[in-house]
Chains A and B, each alone.
Chain A
Amino acid sequence: MSLIAAANICTQGAVSCSDQAWLNTGDNAWQLTAATFVALMSVPGLAVLFGGLVQKKWVVNTMLMTFAGFASVLIVWVLWAFKMGFGAPILHGANWKASSDPISNFFANFVGHPGTTLSAAGLENQASIPLVDPGMPTFALPSASVVYFQFVFAAITPLLFLGSVLGRIKFKVWIVFVPLWTSCVYAVNCMLLWGGGYWAQQGAADFSGGYVIHLAAGVSGFVAAAVIGPRIRADREKALPHSLPLVAIGGGIVWLGWNGFNGGDPYFASADAAAAVINTNMATAAALLTWVLWDTYASAAKKPTFLGAINGMVVGLVAITPSAGYVNGAGALLIGAIDSTIVWFAWTYLSRASFMKKVDDAMGIIYTHGIAGFCGGLLLGIFADPNVVVYQSVGGAQSSLKGLIYGHPKLLLIQFLAAITIILWDGTVTFIILKVIKALMPSHSLKMSDADCEIGDLAAHDEEGYPDPEGAHRVDPGYGERDPVPAGGVS
């Protein structure tokens, strides 16, 4: 394209000022920025948030599993998993038509054909999600922006349920489990709700992952914690966080990172993206303060707590995730306050039930992500405001969502059924994957030995979080040997 032609596109106010007619530079700049914000939530966000919440002896193990898990998801994501979540459904022939049988419809629309995104076209061609394209404006982004944006979500999901299995899972098990989970569980969640698969076709919605990510992480983490087994008794009884300032750093990165998490999901730097960002922050503010109020007036100690505020913050972020770009500001505030209240009571009272005590979900991910995400998806079914427009024109009509209080109760039912599907699929497949890994491990154990768990990082990695130079000296070849005293003594 000549310079003059390119300039014409700009001056004519067409979509693009780049050298590709379909690409909008503003949208693409925001998409890459939003993706980077979300990536920062994992590394270093979750690495230091969880790192601060574990005992000092587990901080290295926690951070390593976060960084290595992040890396392992990207490899399978570009080799096959992105296409499984967002490509063409595996059982669709050229002339596929929806049948009247919901079961066969489900399996025809639950996972995409695996394939790589490595080619030049896979990086630079105009983005496309075959089953979603008809329901949204044409992508103004290259494929790489969508693949990377969706990767950072795929990566953070297993890292969230790392919180359930910390303090005993073997590193080797983790690094095999995560890519398998991404391929067999997460990709299916994506197709069902975001890739245009079965539940999307039924009208279920999940703006940024209340179900795909948070319900999935809560359920999978809980099942994984049950299959792997508990931490050693001393660690369960003294599960004291070792650094609240680290939690503050991680928690802050997670909160503000969520601006990309929810603000990036329209795939356009649009008015709805801006609405999603401020809605996210409103729900989070309401949820944080709600949790602190319950702590102050209803907890045993009757005092506001910092870690309670962080729990409330996380619950607010999770609660608004399914609905951030579908609800108005009042809805966002109510969703934050209601979800935080539900999870506070579950955290305080449901946790006393014997079956909840039996499973050692180390960070309580089933509450702050599982229950919070489940309720957030239902609250979308209640508060979705048809006047909050996601896309101004799809086939000539505005696209938005109508919930219970605007006279459309069916959305609530569809949301509920989608949630049940995620719970059953994710729980079952997580169970099967871990049982298979267990059978294949030479030791038939997914946990470190009790003796190694007593020591922690030093047993697993020969590193500790805060090494003490006192008494340490280097011993690898070439170091640590004193120069021999020359014959005849020192002159």
Chain B
Amino acid sequence: MRTREHFRETVLHTPFHARTSAANGMNLWHRWRDYTTADAYFDVALEYNALRNACAAFDLSPMTKHRITGPDALAFLNRLVTRDVTKLKPGRVGYCIWCDDAGQVIDDGTIFHLTENVYRLCSQERQLDWLHSSALGFDVSIVEETEEVAALAFQGPTSCAVLKQLGLAGIEMLKPFGLRTFRFAGTELLVSRTGFTGDLGYELWIDPEHAITLWDQLFTAGHNYGIHPMGTLALEMSRIEAGFIAAGVDFLCADRAVRTDRTRSPLELDLERMVDFDKPNFNGRRALRAEKGRGSRYRLVKLDIAGNKPAKDAFIYDNRRNVIGTVTSAMWSPAAKSSIALASVAMPWGRPGDELYAEIYYQKELKWSRITERCRVIEGAFYDPPRRRQTPAPDL
């Protein structure tokens, strides 16, 4: 539990800091929710390649985590998020989004149904105020437990094999979005088959006192399987390839917006599959129903862009030279061997087959150039290896 004076402490270290700081040969850090977080440890390309071809560990501890319990926990969550939480059985994890009254996305995250009526909600942003507001009229307890849980994302094709080496018997049978607890080093290790990379991978949750033990044993077990620590930059590459959106990057959190047209609804973020209109009530339902009738303002699209220049912050044009949107995330994808981007475009643009163009600015040795490249709207992830969904997971 934090004290009232907690705000005076503005630089926090995760439970893995002794190891992440020792590994960070480049001294590349940034601030994530006050926590000192590695951008990269040695080389972004090396870490990315470890992730896609071997395995990589990412310190996930700063992720905001809440424990939600009480007789109304399920009813509360079902009113909060747009998907139907009643379908989320104990031992399962679900991606979810939640909206303000106007049906605009506040944040996305994951709900872990730990045991009967005990949930963990992970979110990108701090959400305690919104969760407490949402709890009016519910018999529910909401406790932020960010500091009480250390977490590692452990991802890549050899991740399952390493976890077997670590002694997690039967881990290969854990299905995507499943979770299981194991005895480990005298404590409980929670493992979920989840991640932000679009690859085979797991997330490991443990009490902070055992964090260093977990890190050490994991790296020992992974020694012959190409394990590397991975920073945020390599993770960012993998999440764009997977086509995942990021709060504050691909959409503005609705509670941060000053200008009402800057927010996005789930329908405008290509997340309609996450919205269950059959539920009698969830926050934003009335507004989203109205949007369904009226039509959306924007569409989030995945673009396959010609050429090899990353289309960072590029304007998107229609075929008559009108600006119809902007790129929100872009990169040269080593896995897809293409320049890829997520973009927000005005309706009705962005239909598969629409002729769109990206105006890309790039520089070489401080000389700026401009190029306009043809874009193709694609559906599905840019990179989607079958191992991501296979059960039993490949444990080569």
Q: Do A and B bind each other?
A: no
